[in-house]
A and B are shown apart, each in its own frame.
Chain A
């Protein structure tokens, strides 16, 4: 009898038996997301890798940029394969790519090879990110039709938490194993690959998909539920031809663009605007990362009560109001108000990621929601370019024009209000998907 991978790893092999407790699936999803969320903490390796490889920090940072681009590309390209293969096979593929990428990065240190770092962590690791990002989310959406926002919020909160775990873990490992000229990066990357392997394999073993037609016990879809929530199915090939897909693409892109610029510049911003030390600025970045993580779960859960369209309106209207308040906080020297406003803004930035899979499920059904989500993630890649470029470009031009550094950010805050306004309009234009796009999955 020959070995058949599908017998152990395929979608059928992961189908849950009757009586399976669906609350076992969120830890599996969170475990995978927590590992791949390490990418957000890659910056702690910037200086050690630059020293070990004998290159500049910007050259090392290219690995991070490639990884994020590959995340979007692989999620878009492999989305249909993910739906076909099921979450276990996908999580294993994600593990091989992501932890393989970490090991190749360790080898890059050993052989002082920048191309190995870019190809290993950037390309291979980035593919692992894309696969690991969409598979757990689409699985949770299917297990929690009654609370899809909360379910996807849990997994994507794990991704946000990945940075909170990955940064101190890497720093601690490098501190322990670094000595003299050796930064400890090689050992740290190797050990992180081993530690993350444990968590990702745990996720792959624990994950299950519900049987066809499964519903939570006693749950019946509400008759009064919004017209935006469909019971029909739309395939990925049809979904991306609908205006709704592109409206949500704009919604995600604008929401992420408005937050990502602040998140990356938080420490510098507080130092320049309020004249605080670098240590306090670093503390600000730490505070924001907690709100980035918590907002994913809290706001996404709120969306189950308010509906997705309403919650995105809150993100955009409240976000713009908070951005408009920041210049006033700076002018009056009210640092507490500044901290509260930015923390709330960042909570809604994270929430934008967490709520979008449930919005997709509302509009297109659960049939190929993972693949559709994969294609929508390209909006994130775009936002990763737009957000920092806009905020950096406008800030630099205002400083060059003679505006004091403390006030130079104010113009960028109003620009963020404009981006959020565009997102609001796109969100308000979202209507139910027309029946001509629906498909019969069993046909």
Chain B
């Protein structure tokens, strides 16, 4: 029971934070899809 509470507690904060990070990664993706910089051309 104690282990269960521990897992649920961590999931309760990890899931929304993980969603937030995923949203930011999606937002950042155009940065890596655009034309390469001068040194890579």
Contacts and interface: CB of A to CB of B under 8 A. Distances in A.
A334 B2 contact: no
Contact of B31 (A31, A161, A287, A337): A287
Given A28-B9, A290-B25, A165 B17 contact: yes
Contacts, number: 91
| Interface range on chain A (Cβ under 8 Å from partner) | 35 or more
B20 to A, nearest CB: 3
Given A34-B16, A34-B17, A164-B17, A206 B34 contact: no
Given A24-B5, A31-B12, A334-B37, A161 B21 contact: yes
Nearest to B23: A168
Main secondary structure, interface of B, reads helix
A158 B30 CA distance: 26
Contacts of B28: 283-284, 286-287, 290
A10 interface: no
A182 to B, nearest CB: 24
A442 interface: no
A119 interface: no
A199 B12 contact: yes
Given A24-B5, A164-B23, A290-B21, A336 B37 contact: yes
Majority DSSP secondary structure for residues of A touching B: helix
Contacts of B16: 34, 165, 199
Interface string A331-363: 011111101000000000000000000000000
A177 interface: no
Given A27-B13, A283-B29, A284-B28, A164 B38 contact: no
B13 A31 contact: yes
A404 B19 CA distance: 40
Interface of B: 2, 5-6, 9-10, 12-13, 16-17, 19-21, 23-32, 34, 37-40
23 contacts: A21-B6, A27-B9, A30-B13, A34-B16, A161-B20, A163-B20, A164-B17, A164-B23, A168-B19, A168-B20, A168-B23, A202-B12, A276-B34, A280-B31, A282-B30, A284-B31, A286-B26, A286-B28, A286-B31, A289-B24, A293-B21, A333-B37, A334-B39
Given A161-B21, A168-B23, A277-B30, 13 more contacts: A27-B10, A27-B12, A34-B17, A161-B20, A165-B20, A167-B23, A168-B20, A199-B13, A280-B31, A283-B29, A284-B28, A287-B24, A339-B31
